Chain A
């Protein structure tokens, strides 16, 4: 809508151009679609027996549903723990102790800078080999997600605290609150409210990253899909179905974040 400023309302020539471009693009889409359908059909990929199990095979649906529950469970636990850890890290950094800020700053830099998959592999390979401990795949995934996302959320919270008016802190200190009490009762609650949309978006990233769990043997949705596809011989169809489930979940989470952000601006502008 804002984009309209880039273009005049089209005149007769513009309208004709737009109509021609529309026609060409729709033709292109139809051609691409037809080619894909033709190739898939030639390969037997559109055969009903490749797709129907996702509607009729209750055992398969239950199998994949279990995976979905694992995905959601690990993601939610990782989100809640990362929120707690992120808030604690951000508070530690805002206290004004030089050595603590340095340690937390280093933690944040390190875990934002290395791949989540590397965290998972470190725990998956390293803990049994070096510490001689057994660690479940669920724990590996949750801790790896926690290490990365607590660092990211610490940064989000830091930005939230920095975005508050400076008077909030001064007023709180003037009222006799200590630095810690100021953070605990005045700054952090406001910063969390300010950052709710960003924190919810982080949940989408966690859900997507949890799909890496299949690499370290965690039986979440992607791993289950891999198993099912191997047995049924329909990898393409399985991954399309699983992909649709992920997209639906993430779009729902994104919508929730939009809704909350929208509701908040309304409340702030005096209902």
Chain B
């Protein structure tokens, strides 16, 4: 295979990586928000469910989450292709980190401020919209960016579970083109690096946008 063809093949595989990352950012954030709400509402079984889920899943290696999804779901009646399985495993895992970040963001708002707002008669809705969420949003941008960059890197594990994303295709290319091994590896690492640095820059940009000069 000519090296230009290899570049195209690996470039195309990165589209799968990016798709998996973007889809999981959306779904893991949604699940993370649900977990955060469950862990904040004063309903004890909801809190406990969220706490147990978060503690168990974030302490399990992502590889094991993949194995459990791939071998477990078919047993309870869900048989899916590789890509949705990988999406689901990444979502279940990443959501726990999103939830932890969101929860510490909400808790970072000083109790005194919340009490002051409530003493002033702000409704629950006003409290959330004008006090808690804007402040939480500021403190969660950097850790959330790290969560999403970790997710981008974690999509590489899907290559071991049948998804032909960048890492999987890289292994194929290395095995088929023994004369370009170093080039293929540097190319793949370079694109991963560019993507994660790009996400970091985007995070910095958003942080600067939402930052308040006090």
Contact = CB atoms under 8 A, between A and B. Distances in A.
A117 B167 contact: yes
Contacts of B178: 129
B77 A236 contact: no
A129 B75 contact: no
Interface residues of A, number: 59
B34 interface: no
Nearest to A35: B76
A215 interface: yes
Given A114-B192, A121-B170, A208-B61, A21 B46 contact: yes
A109 interface: yes
Nearest to B156: A115
Nearest to B114: A5
Interface string A236-264: 10011011001100110010000000000
A100 interface: no
A122 interface: yes
Nearest to B197: A113
Instruction: Give the interface size bracket for B toward A.
Output: 35 or more
Interface string B33-73: 00000001111111001000001100111111001100110
Interface string A202-214: 0010011111101
A40 B75 contact: yes
B76 A36 contact: yes
Most chain B C-beta atoms within 10 Å of own C-beta, residue among A2, A40, A117, A229? A117
Nearest to B189: A114
B185 A126 contact: yes
Interface in A110-137: 110, 112-118, 121-122, 125-126, 129-130
B80 interface: no
Contacts of A210: 61
A246 B40 CA distance: 27
B55 A251 contact: yes
Nearest to B191: A114
A3 interface: yes
B29 interface: no
Interface in B176-205: 178, 181-182, 185, 188-189, 192-193, 196-197
Contacts of A26: 45
Contacts of B111: 2, 5
B156 A235 contact: no
9 contacts: A10-B42, A25-B45, A25-B49, A35-B76, A113-B196, A114-B153, A121-B171, A129-B174, A222-B67
Q: Sorted from nearest, which 3 A-B pairs have the closest CB atoms? A: A211-B61, A250-B59, A115-B156
